[in-house]
Amino acid sequence: MDHLGLRSRGEKNVFSGFTTAEMEKMDRILKQSEQLPNSEVIKKLTTGFNRSAGRAGKPLLKWLEVQNWFLDRQKCLMSRDTSLNGPNMNETSDMPKGEKVIDLSKLEYEAKSSDGAWYDVEIFITYRFNTSSGYEVLARYDGFGPEEDEWVHIKNVRERSVSLEHLECSKVMVGDIVLCFQEKTDIARHYDAQVIDIQRKLHDIRGCRCIFLIRYEHDNSEECVRLRRLCCRPEY
């Protein structure tokens, strides 16, 4: 698993600068091979792109940028395929041998809706490329029907946040951005929030008794919450 590589990529490097013809070609290659092309193929492809007339006057591509494009596209395709076909699709033995495919299908995602809250994604139904803003995915939210499907920019999609065990409260630090469950009388949603202060308490038989003062990013309201209301980014 190459989480580090996957997460450390700057998305702005991934989604900018490809011509339509280049993206169509990469799409064809991905569909034909059904797996990530190896680095030799990608390097050759990059050289070809850089020599093509369509690239005249544009910055030269780096092969890593091309590879990142494939990784991201595969992320979309595999999460969709896995959801549709079940988890066994990667175990078919007729896949060509070659460079190891990063198994993105085991990753689970959450997406930030237009209401500013994060929801678990059940599947990505399809994707589209918007020339002004880049890639968007059509997300089906976990626990919601098709009528709630939403186009979400890829920058608002991330690996799911994880809840914390009682003993993991020490990992939460002042200044951290966490996902916090906000409960109001009529509405309960997960929002990004910053940890402003922490009162560390002795744990007892009920577990963590620490109190976290957090400030929600979407409305700047502050609240004191217990650990069970918080989720954090997965570790890499």
Q: Counting every residue, how long is the chain?
A: 236
Query: Minimum distance from CB of 110 to Zn ion (Å)?
Result: 24
Among 152, 169, 172, 180, binds Zn ion (CB under 5 A): 169
Q: Least CB distance from residue 229 to Zn ion, whole Å?
A: 13
Residue 208 contacts Zn ion per CB under 5 A: yes
| Comparison of 6 and 210: residue with beta carbon closer to Zn ion | 210
Query: Measured between alpha carbons, how far is 65 from 9 in angstroms, rounded to an integer?
Result: 9
Identify any residues that bridge with 139 across adjacent strands, giving them in sequence order.
Answer: 124, 150
Smallest distance, Zn ion to C-beta of residue 213, A: 14
Shortest approach of Zn ion to residue 207 CB, angstroms? 8
Dihedral angle at the C-alpha atoms of 47, 67, 152, 219, nearest 10 degrees? -110
CA distance 187 to 150: 19
Tokens of 115: 């209401």
**Cβ-based nearer residue to Zn ion, 94 or 235:** 235
In 3D, which of 85, 83, 86, 97 has the Cα closest to residue 34?
Answer: 97
Does position 210 interact with Zn ion (CB under 5 A)? The reply is yes
In the bound state with Zn ion, the residue whose beta carbon lies nearer, of 101 and 210, is: 210
Exposure on the CB side of residue 174, measured as CA atoms within 13 A:
7
Stretch that binds Zn ion, among 6-14, 74-82, 83-91, 163-171 (CB under 5 A): 163-171
Q: Which is nearer to Zn ion, 42 or 208 (CB)?
A: 208
Of the candidate spans 85-93, 108-116, 181-189, 204-212, the one that interacts with Zn ion by CB under 5 A turns out to be: 204-212
Phi, psi of 18 (to 5 degrees): -90, 140
Which residue type, as a one-letter code, is found at position 40?
E
Please count the residues of this chain forming the interface with Zn ion, following the rule CB under 5 A.
3
CA distance 71 to 59: 21
Residues near Zn ion, by CB under 5 A: 169, 208, 210
